[in-house]
Amino acid sequence: MGLITLNRPKAMNALNDDLSQEVIGVLKAFDGDASIGAIVLTGSEKAFAAGADIREMHEKSFVDMFNENYFSAWDVISTIRKPIIAAVNGFALGGGCELAMLCDFIIAGSNAKFGQPEIKLGILPGIGGSQRLTRLVGRSLAMDLILTGRLIDAQEAKACGLVARVVPPEELLSVALDAADKIASYSYPAVLLAKEAVNRAEEVSLSEGVRHERRLFQAAFATSGQKEGMAAFLEKREAVFSGR
């Protein structure tokens, strides 16, 4: 299991270019490391990330943004094949909320606060927030959060489906690491196939998604994980997966 901790305490873990490049580099390295089965991305108790670094971008022009393709590097996250869990304590705002939503699921400490407050800065979400938040929580709440800039707490985030679990802040990291360990203990190809199947739901029609799932399901029967998992069940013992 791989752990990434965002650590810019003086700026509430605001995401600047250096930090972004570093996180993406580590994610890619973890994805290529056979000893890692799942990844946890976290911040501090005060902030997961308070958004893109306003100081870094406030003087940029359209042409700067366009030519640099600022923050397009985050697109790489949706190509990472291993599951990524966002463990969120404190603020996950703007690009920070978008980064959490780029992960596969979010576990939140009860002190977490989520929002897309870009409207207050004269801008709008730019790393997929208007699209992913709308898919996750529905149009009405997404419009509310994006147009008013109000923040929601962990309970509201759980109730609307943005967050999978809410736990006491001091237990957040151990719960997220346990979840990652659990995932990493299963058949590696089954985990990758399952992640691919769920992600497909956001891209295609229901019938296409079900058809794709069926092929992936059938493919699982070509793995030794399926043989071992089912044999272990019938023999009433714990499965031991080889990663193949």
Residues near ligand DAK, by CB under 6 A:
11-12, 14, 50-55, 57, 65, 70-71, 91, 93-95, 117-118, 121, 126-127
95 is catalytic: yes
Alpha carbons 103 and 43: distance in angstroms, whole number: 14
Shortest distance in whole angstroms from residue 142 CB to ligand DAK: 16
* Residue 241 identity (one-letter amino acid): F
Q: Residue 70 or residue 105: which is nearer to ligand DAK going by CB? A: 70
CA 184 vs. chain centroid, Å, equals 16
Among 108, 115, 118, 126, the one annotated catalytic = 118
Closest distance of CB 45 from ligand DAK, Å: 12
Least CB distance from residue 200 to ligand DAK, whole Å?
25
Quickly list DSSP for 115-178.
E-GGGGGT----SSHHHHHHHHH-HHHHHHHHHH---EEHHHHHHTTS-SEEE-GGGHHHHHHH
Nearer to ligand DAK, 104 or 118 (CB): 118
Token pair belonging to 114: 């989520």
* Rounded least distance, CB 136 to ligand DAK, Å: 17
**Neighbouring C-alpha atoms within 13 Å toward the C-beta of 179:** 22
Residue closer to ligand DAK (CB basis): 120 or 139: 120
CB of 114 to ligand DAK, least distance (A): 11
Round to whole Å and give the CA distance between 42 and 175.
Answer: 12
C-alpha to C-alpha distances, 147 to 98, 99, 115, 131, 234, nearest whole angstrom? 16, 19, 11, 14, 54
Q: Which of 14, 90, 98, 179 is catalytic?
A: 98
Closer residue to ligand DAK, CB minimum distance, 91 or 241: 91
The catalytic position among 14, 38, 47, 52 is 52
Q: Please report, as a single letter, which amino acid is at residue 83.
A: P
Select 65 or 216, whichever has its Cβ closest to ligand DAK: 65
52 is catalytic: yes
- The answer to whether 118 is a known catalytic residue is yes
Answer whether 168's CB lies under 8 Å from 154's CB. Answer: no
What DSSP element (H or E) covers 31?
Answer: helix 17-31
CA distance 13 to 108: 16
**H or E element that contains 217:** helix 206-220
Residues designated as active site: 52, 95, 98, 118
